[in-house]
Amino acid sequence: LLERNVALKDLFFDVLQCLRVVEEWGPEYRLQLTRSEQPQSLVVHFNCLDPARLLALRQAKAHAVTAFSATLSPLAWMRGRIGLADDAVCTRAVSPFAARQLQVHLATHIDTRFTARERTLSQLASLLGDWLATNPGNCIIYFPSYRYLSDCHALLEQQSHAHRLWVQQREADEGQRQALLEQLAASRDTAALCILGGVFGEGIDLPGEQLRSVVVVGVGMPQVNRETRELQAWYQRTTGAGFEHAFLFPGMQKVDQALGRVVRRMEDSGSALLIDARYARPEYRDLLPPWWEYLPWRQAARTS
Protein backbone atom coordinates (compact mmCIF):
# COMPACT_ATOMS: atom_id res chain seq x y z
CA LEU A 1 0.00 0.00 0.00
CA LEU A 2 2.84 2.38 0.86
CA GLU A 3 4.54 1.76 -2.49
CA ARG A 4 1.24 2.38 -4.29
CA ASN A 5 0.76 5.70 -2.49
CA VAL A 6 4.31 6.78 -3.33
CA ALA A 7 3.74 5.91 -6.99
CA LEU A 8 0.49 7.90 -7.06
CA LYS A 9 2.21 10.85 -5.41
CA ASP A 10 4.99 10.79 -8.03
CA LEU A 11 2.40 10.55 -10.80
CA PHE A 12 0.50 13.54 -9.38
CA PHE A 13 3.59 15.77 -9.38
CA ASP A 14 4.62 14.57 -12.84
CA VAL A 15 1.20 15.48 -14.22
CA LEU A 16 1.30 18.82 -12.39
CA GLN A 17 4.66 19.65 -13.94
CA CYS A 18 3.35 18.62 -17.35
CA LEU A 19 0.37 20.99 -16.99
CA ARG A 20 2.70 23.84 -15.99
CA VAL A 21 4.71 23.31 -19.17
CA VAL A 22 1.57 23.20 -21.31
CA GLU A 23 0.45 26.54 -19.83
CA GLU A 24 3.61 28.13 -21.28
CA TRP A 25 3.20 26.49 -24.69
CA GLY A 26 4.21 28.55 -27.68
CA PRO A 27 5.41 28.29 -31.30
CA GLU A 28 8.94 27.36 -30.18
CA TYR A 29 7.72 24.12 -28.54
CA ARG A 30 7.67 20.72 -30.20
CA LEU A 31 5.66 17.69 -29.07
CA GLN A 32 7.63 14.53 -29.79
CA LEU A 33 6.54 10.92 -29.35
CA THR A 34 9.08 8.10 -29.17
CA ARG A 35 8.78 4.43 -28.43
CA SER A 36 10.91 1.31 -28.42
CA GLU A 37 10.03 -2.23 -29.43
CA GLN A 38 8.83 -2.96 -25.89
CA PRO A 39 5.07 -2.79 -25.13
CA GLN A 40 3.78 0.35 -23.38
CA SER A 41 7.01 2.19 -24.18
CA LEU A 42 5.50 5.39 -25.55
CA VAL A 43 7.30 8.48 -24.23
CA VAL A 44 6.03 12.05 -24.64
CA HIS A 45 8.67 14.77 -24.97
CA PHE A 46 8.00 18.50 -24.63
CA ASN A 47 10.93 20.13 -26.41
CA CYS A 48 11.42 23.89 -26.07
CA LEU A 49 13.70 24.84 -28.95
CA ASP A 50 14.23 28.42 -27.85
CA PRO A 51 13.72 29.58 -24.23
CA ALA A 52 14.13 33.29 -25.05
CA ARG A 53 10.42 34.15 -24.81
CA LEU A 54 10.02 32.49 -21.41
CA LEU A 55 13.21 34.07 -20.08
CA ALA A 56 12.04 37.49 -21.26
CA LEU A 57 8.76 37.06 -19.35
CA ARG A 58 10.65 36.34 -16.14
CA GLN A 59 13.14 39.15 -16.66
CA ALA A 60 10.33 41.65 -17.27
CA LYS A 61 9.37 41.26 -13.59
CA ALA A 62 12.82 42.39 -12.44
CA HIS A 63 13.99 45.99 -12.03
CA ALA A 64 17.22 45.19 -13.88
CA VAL A 65 19.07 42.14 -15.15
CA THR A 66 22.82 41.70 -15.47
CA ALA A 67 24.28 38.76 -17.40
CA PHE A 68 28.00 38.14 -17.59
CA SER A 69 30.24 35.32 -18.75
CA ALA A 70 33.53 34.81 -20.55
CA THR A 71 31.74 33.25 -23.52
CA LEU A 72 28.73 35.46 -24.31
CA SER A 73 29.80 35.72 -27.93
CA PRO A 74 28.73 36.87 -30.43
CA LEU A 75 26.80 39.41 -28.41
CA ALA A 76 23.74 39.72 -30.65
CA TRP A 77 23.25 35.93 -30.68
CA MET A 78 23.59 35.54 -26.93
CA ARG A 79 21.38 38.55 -26.23
CA GLY A 80 18.58 36.90 -28.16
CA ARG A 81 19.15 33.45 -26.65
CA ILE A 82 18.84 34.64 -23.07
CA GLY A 83 15.77 36.76 -23.74
CA LEU A 84 17.26 40.24 -23.46
CA ALA A 85 15.64 43.07 -25.40
CA ASP A 86 17.21 44.44 -28.58
CA ASP A 87 18.03 47.69 -26.78
CA ALA A 88 19.85 45.93 -23.91
CA VAL A 89 23.29 47.40 -23.28
CA CYS A 90 25.97 44.91 -24.35
CA THR A 91 29.71 45.29 -24.14
CA ARG A 92 32.79 43.11 -24.33
CA ALA A 93 35.55 43.79 -21.82
CA VAL A 94 39.19 43.51 -22.81
CA SER A 95 41.18 40.56 -21.54
CA PRO A 96 43.33 41.13 -18.43
CA PHE A 97 45.95 38.77 -19.88
CA ALA A 98 48.76 39.56 -22.31
CA ALA A 99 48.71 37.91 -25.74
CA ARG A 100 52.09 36.26 -25.05
CA GLN A 101 50.60 34.21 -22.20
CA LEU A 102 48.82 31.83 -24.59
CA GLN A 103 50.38 30.84 -27.90
CA VAL A 104 47.57 29.61 -30.12
CA HIS A 105 48.51 27.60 -33.20
CA LEU A 106 46.21 26.74 -36.11
CA ALA A 107 46.62 23.46 -38.00
CA THR A 108 44.38 24.03 -41.02
CA HIS A 109 45.84 21.27 -43.20
CA ILE A 110 43.75 18.50 -41.60
CA ASP A 111 40.08 17.99 -42.45
CA THR A 112 38.22 16.78 -39.33
CA ARG A 113 34.73 16.77 -40.82
CA PHE A 114 32.82 13.53 -40.30
CA THR A 115 33.17 12.37 -43.90
CA ALA A 116 36.96 12.91 -43.86
CA ARG A 117 37.88 11.51 -40.45
CA GLU A 118 38.82 8.00 -41.52
CA ARG A 119 41.00 9.36 -44.32
CA THR A 120 42.88 11.86 -42.14
CA LEU A 121 43.01 9.87 -38.88
CA SER A 122 46.65 8.79 -39.16
CA GLN A 123 47.65 12.34 -40.07
CA LEU A 124 45.82 13.64 -37.01
CA ALA A 125 47.47 11.11 -34.69
CA SER A 126 50.90 12.02 -36.08
CA LEU A 127 50.23 15.71 -35.47
CA LEU A 128 49.07 15.06 -31.91
CA GLY A 129 52.21 13.01 -31.29
CA ASP A 130 54.36 15.90 -32.54
CA TRP A 131 52.47 18.29 -30.28
CA LEU A 132 52.98 16.16 -27.18
CA ALA A 133 56.67 15.73 -28.04
CA THR A 134 57.27 19.49 -28.32
CA ASN A 135 54.93 20.67 -25.54
CA PRO A 136 55.88 19.20 -22.15
CA GLY A 137 53.45 19.25 -19.24
CA ASN A 138 49.83 18.28 -18.80
CA CYS A 139 47.60 18.58 -21.85
CA ILE A 140 43.89 18.10 -22.58
CA ILE A 141 42.98 17.01 -26.11
CA TYR A 142 39.32 17.65 -26.95
CA PHE A 143 37.45 15.58 -29.55
CA PRO A 144 33.96 16.11 -31.04
CA SER A 145 32.83 12.51 -30.47
CA TYR A 146 33.67 9.35 -28.52
CA ARG A 147 34.20 7.35 -31.71
CA TYR A 148 36.75 9.86 -33.01
CA LEU A 149 38.45 9.92 -29.60
CA SER A 150 38.63 6.13 -29.41
CA ASP A 151 40.02 5.72 -32.92
CA CYS A 152 42.72 8.32 -32.33
CA HIS A 153 43.56 6.90 -28.89
CA ALA A 154 44.34 3.54 -30.48
CA LEU A 155 46.93 5.16 -32.75
CA LEU A 156 48.41 7.34 -30.00
CA GLU A 157 49.01 4.25 -27.87
CA GLN A 158 51.26 2.91 -30.61
CA GLN A 159 53.46 6.01 -30.56
CA SER A 160 56.46 6.65 -28.35
CA HIS A 161 56.04 9.77 -26.20
CA ALA A 162 56.57 10.80 -22.60
CA HIS A 163 52.91 11.45 -21.77
CA ARG A 164 50.56 9.12 -19.94
CA LEU A 165 47.24 8.87 -21.77
CA TRP A 166 44.01 9.30 -19.81
CA VAL A 167 40.68 8.70 -21.57
CA GLN A 168 37.26 10.07 -20.65
CA GLN A 169 34.69 7.30 -20.48
CA ARG A 170 31.36 7.59 -22.25
CA GLU A 171 29.39 7.83 -18.98
CA ALA A 172 31.60 10.32 -17.17
CA ASP A 173 30.38 10.99 -13.64
CA GLU A 174 31.59 13.18 -10.79
CA GLY A 175 33.96 10.45 -9.62
CA GLN A 176 35.74 10.29 -12.97
CA ARG A 177 35.86 14.08 -13.14
CA GLN A 178 37.47 14.27 -9.71
CA ALA A 179 39.92 11.51 -10.65
CA LEU A 180 41.24 13.51 -13.60
CA LEU A 181 41.50 16.71 -11.57
CA GLU A 182 43.53 14.89 -8.93
CA GLN A 183 45.79 13.33 -11.56
CA LEU A 184 46.43 16.69 -13.23
CA ALA A 185 47.22 18.20 -9.84
CA ALA A 186 49.74 15.43 -9.02
CA SER A 187 51.37 14.75 -12.40
CA ARG A 188 53.14 16.79 -15.07
CA ASP A 189 53.02 14.28 -17.93
CA THR A 190 49.31 13.53 -18.46
CA ALA A 191 47.58 13.83 -21.82
CA ALA A 192 43.82 13.62 -21.20
CA LEU A 193 41.58 12.75 -24.13
CA CYS A 194 38.18 14.34 -23.49
CA ILE A 195 34.96 15.33 -25.22
CA LEU A 196 34.63 18.96 -26.28
CA GLY A 197 31.77 20.65 -24.44
CA GLY A 198 31.54 17.87 -21.86
CA VAL A 199 32.25 17.93 -18.14
CA PHE A 200 35.94 18.64 -18.81
CA GLY A 201 35.38 21.42 -21.35
CA GLU A 202 34.11 24.09 -18.95
CA GLY A 203 33.74 24.80 -15.26
CA ILE A 204 37.11 23.35 -14.25
CA ASP A 205 39.96 25.43 -12.87
CA LEU A 206 43.51 24.14 -13.57
CA PRO A 207 45.95 26.96 -12.81
CA GLY A 208 49.71 26.88 -13.04
CA GLU A 209 51.38 23.60 -13.95
CA GLN A 210 48.16 21.61 -13.66
CA LEU A 211 47.48 22.36 -17.34
CA ARG A 212 50.05 23.64 -19.82
CA SER A 213 48.27 23.16 -23.14
CA VAL A 214 45.02 22.22 -24.84
CA VAL A 215 44.28 20.81 -28.28
CA VAL A 216 40.87 21.16 -29.93
CA VAL A 217 40.10 18.73 -32.75
CA GLY A 218 37.37 20.22 -34.94
CA VAL A 219 35.16 23.26 -34.48
CA GLY A 220 32.74 21.94 -31.87
CA MET A 221 29.74 21.52 -34.14
CA PRO A 222 26.73 19.87 -32.45
CA GLN A 223 25.80 16.48 -33.85
CA VAL A 224 23.33 16.48 -36.70
CA ASN A 225 20.12 14.87 -35.48
CA ARG A 226 16.40 15.56 -35.44
CA GLU A 227 16.61 18.10 -32.63
CA THR A 228 19.44 20.15 -34.14
CA ARG A 229 17.71 20.12 -37.53
CA GLU A 230 14.51 21.37 -35.92
CA LEU A 231 16.52 24.02 -34.12
CA GLN A 232 18.14 25.06 -37.38
CA ALA A 233 14.72 25.32 -39.07
CA TRP A 234 13.36 27.39 -36.17
CA TYR A 235 16.21 29.90 -36.25
CA GLN A 236 16.14 30.05 -40.04
CA ARG A 237 12.48 31.06 -39.85
CA THR A 238 12.93 33.54 -36.99
CA THR A 239 16.37 35.04 -37.74
CA GLY A 240 17.31 34.00 -41.27
CA ALA A 241 20.53 32.46 -39.94
CA GLY A 242 19.63 28.89 -39.01
CA PHE A 243 23.05 27.29 -39.52
CA GLU A 244 24.84 29.99 -37.58
CA HIS A 245 22.48 29.88 -34.59
CA ALA A 246 22.12 26.10 -34.40
CA PHE A 247 25.63 24.94 -35.32
CA LEU A 248 28.32 27.59 -35.88
CA PHE A 249 27.88 29.80 -32.81
CA PRO A 250 27.33 27.00 -30.25
CA GLY A 251 30.26 25.05 -31.71
CA MET A 252 32.72 27.91 -31.53
CA GLN A 253 31.51 28.76 -28.05
CA LYS A 254 32.76 25.31 -26.95
CA VAL A 255 36.12 26.05 -28.58
CA ASP A 256 36.39 29.36 -26.73
CA GLN A 257 35.59 27.61 -23.45
CA ALA A 258 38.32 25.03 -24.09
CA LEU A 259 40.87 27.77 -24.83
CA GLY A 260 39.99 29.34 -21.50
CA ARG A 261 41.21 26.32 -19.52
CA VAL A 262 44.94 27.16 -19.77
CA VAL A 263 45.46 30.73 -18.55
CA ARG A 264 43.59 31.14 -15.27
CA ARG A 265 45.85 33.46 -13.27
CA MET A 266 47.98 36.48 -14.11
CA GLU A 267 51.17 34.41 -13.84
CA ASP A 268 49.91 31.51 -16.00
CA SER A 269 51.12 30.77 -19.53
CA GLY A 270 50.74 27.96 -22.01
CA SER A 271 49.82 26.99 -25.55
CA ALA A 272 46.93 25.72 -27.61
CA LEU A 273 46.43 23.98 -30.93
CA LEU A 274 43.25 24.22 -33.02
CA ILE A 275 42.97 21.54 -35.70
CA ASP A 276 40.56 21.92 -38.62
CA ALA A 277 40.63 23.34 -42.13
CA ARG A 278 37.73 25.66 -41.25
CA TYR A 279 39.92 27.75 -38.94
CA ALA A 280 41.34 29.30 -42.10
CA ARG A 281 37.93 30.76 -42.93
CA PRO A 282 36.98 34.22 -41.58
CA GLU A 283 33.52 33.22 -40.34
CA TYR A 284 35.24 30.84 -37.90
CA ARG A 285 38.33 32.91 -37.09
CA ASP A 286 36.17 35.95 -36.26
CA LEU A 287 34.48 33.96 -33.47
CA LEU A 288 37.76 33.20 -31.65
CA PRO A 289 38.82 35.40 -28.71
CA PRO A 290 40.42 38.53 -30.23
CA TRP A 291 43.10 38.98 -27.55
CA TRP A 292 45.25 35.98 -28.56
CA GLU A 293 47.60 35.82 -31.52
CA TYR A 294 46.87 32.97 -33.96
CA LEU A 295 49.86 31.47 -35.78
CA PRO A 296 49.91 28.80 -38.48
CA TRP A 297 51.09 25.53 -36.94
CA ARG A 298 54.05 25.01 -39.29
CA GLN A 299 55.30 28.55 -38.72
CA ALA A 300 54.80 28.18 -34.96
CA ALA A 301 56.67 24.85 -34.96
CA ARG A 302 59.70 26.45 -36.59
CA THR A 303 59.79 29.48 -34.27
CA SER A 304 59.02 27.80 -30.94
- The answer to whether the peptide bond before residue 74 is cis (omega within 30 degrees of 0) is yes
pLDDT at 304 over 80: no
| pLDDT given for residue 2 in this prediction | 63
pLDDT at 3 over 80: no
Query: Taken in order 247, 263, 168, 110, is the CA torsion positive or negative?
Result: positive
Order of strands across the sheet that contains 164-167? 164-167, 190-195, 139-143, 213-217, 270-275, 102-107, 293-296
Asked whether 106 and 295 are in contact (CB, 8 A), the reply is yes
Model confidence, pTM: 0.88
pLDDT tens for each residue of 190-214? 999 999 988 888 778 899 999 999 9
Beta bridge partner(s), residue 178: none
Tell me how many degrees the CA angle 92-220-124 measures, rounded to the nearest 5.
125
Instruction: Say how far apart CA 178 and CA 199 lie, in whole Å.
Output: 11
- The three-state secondary structure class of 190 is strand
pLDDT tens for each residue of 60-91? 999 999 998 888 889 999 999 999 998 899 99
pLDDT tens for each residue of 260-290? 999 999 999 999 999 999 999 999 999 999 9
pLDDT at 100 over 50: yes
Give the mean pLDDT of the chain: 91
- Mean of the pLDDT values across residues 248-256? 95
- The three-state secondary structure class of 27 is coil
pLDDT tens for each residue of 156-195? 999 877 899 999 988 777 888 889 999 999 999 999 999 9
More confidently predicted of 161 and 33: 33
| pLDDT given for residue 1 in this prediction | 59
Asked whether 294 and 270 are in contact (CB, 8 A), the reply is no
